[in-house]
Amino acid sequence: MLALIHNTFRERIRGKTFYIVGFIGMVIMLFITTGDSNLTINGKKVTGFEQMVPVALSIAGFVSNLLAVMVSLRTIPDEFERKTTHLVLIRGIKPWQYMFSLTVGNILASLFCMFSLNASLAIFCIAYGRLGLIIPAFLSVAIMGINSMFLSAAVSVMSIKAPVYITGITGIFIYAAGILHGVLDTLANTAQGVGAVLARATLFLIPDFSAVQQQASNVLTGAPIDPEPILSSLILLYLAMSLTFVLFRKEV
């Protein structure tokens, strides 16, 4: 299984998409973290460290979550299309081991991508003489990584059965619903009827990405942390991963 995970990781981080989007993300991050941006919040230019960090984290979160979807989208369908599945399955690898390994490989590639994007945040901490913030920054990125991990796992699991374009669109929908979780939750709770029940059920299965991101930001700024959104995201990640044990294609 380790060989499969390693191979998947190596293949994913070689994708052109990964490098292009990653490069754009790093440019945005460097642009903001060097203080040369014209970004304003409530009419005030964002230049201070405490102001910039949440902005940088949000942008890094946005780009790396999109990358998580893109990186994980094609891994499993490609294996089936190229028939590489044949040479793996005849070697006694069970379908669940195969799907689980590919999903873990995708998750690791997504995390690698997230940490690469946030490397500029570490540089930022050093440049501002905030060396003590390196470890909190690392923890903060690790917490944000939960969002990427969930997205990567969800997209990987969906791609076992669904066509690539449906998986991609659904992945983006999950991300949008996760970011707007609070707003959508309020709307669903105020609405009535079957639609509202369905909306509540859907939201129950999607982590609150913005809440997780907020906790990540709190780690860095020293604000109190609410473990609830982190734990519920981890539970949903576990549920998504466990689907790799039961889903497989009928014909390989």
Partner 1 sequence: MKILECSGLVKMYGKVKAVDGLSFSVEKGELLGLLGPNGAGKTTTIKMILGLTSLSGGKVIIDRDIKIGYSPETPYFHLFLTGYEVMRFYSQLQKLDRRTADRQIGRLLELTGLSGAAGKKVKNYSKGMLQRLAFAQALLGEPELLILDEPTSGLDAVGRIEMLGLIERLKYEGKTIIINSHILSDIEKTADRTIIIANGRLAGMTGKNDLACNSLEELFVKAVGGVAHVGTDT
Which residues contribute to the site for partner 1 (CB under 8 A)? 2-4, 7, 10-11, 14, 82-93, 250-252
**Angstrom distance (rounded) from CA 175 to CA 240:** 15
Please say which residue, 43 or 92, places its beta carbon nearer to partner 1.
92
- Minimum CB separation of residue 117 from partner 1 in Å reads 22
Tokens describing residue 90 = 């005849």
**Local structure of residue 222 (DSSP, 8 states):** T
Q: Could you tell me how far CA 31 lies from the centroid of its own chain?
A: 22
Please say which residue, 50 or 251, places its beta carbon nearer to partner 1.
251
Please say which residue, 97 or 210, places its beta carbon nearer to partner 1.
97
Q: Are the C-beta atoms of residues 67 and 18 closer than 8 Å to each other?
A: yes
- Minimum CB separation of residue 11 from partner 1 in Å reads 6
Write down the residue that tokens 């890094």 correspond to.
60
- Minimum CB separation of residue 82 from partner 1 in Å reads 4
Please say which residue, 54 or 105, places its beta carbon nearer to partner 1.
105
Q: Could you tell me how far CA 158 lies from the centroid of its own chain?
A: 15
- Minimum CB separation of residue 6 from partner 1 in Å reads 9
Strand spans (E) along the chain: 40-41, 44-45
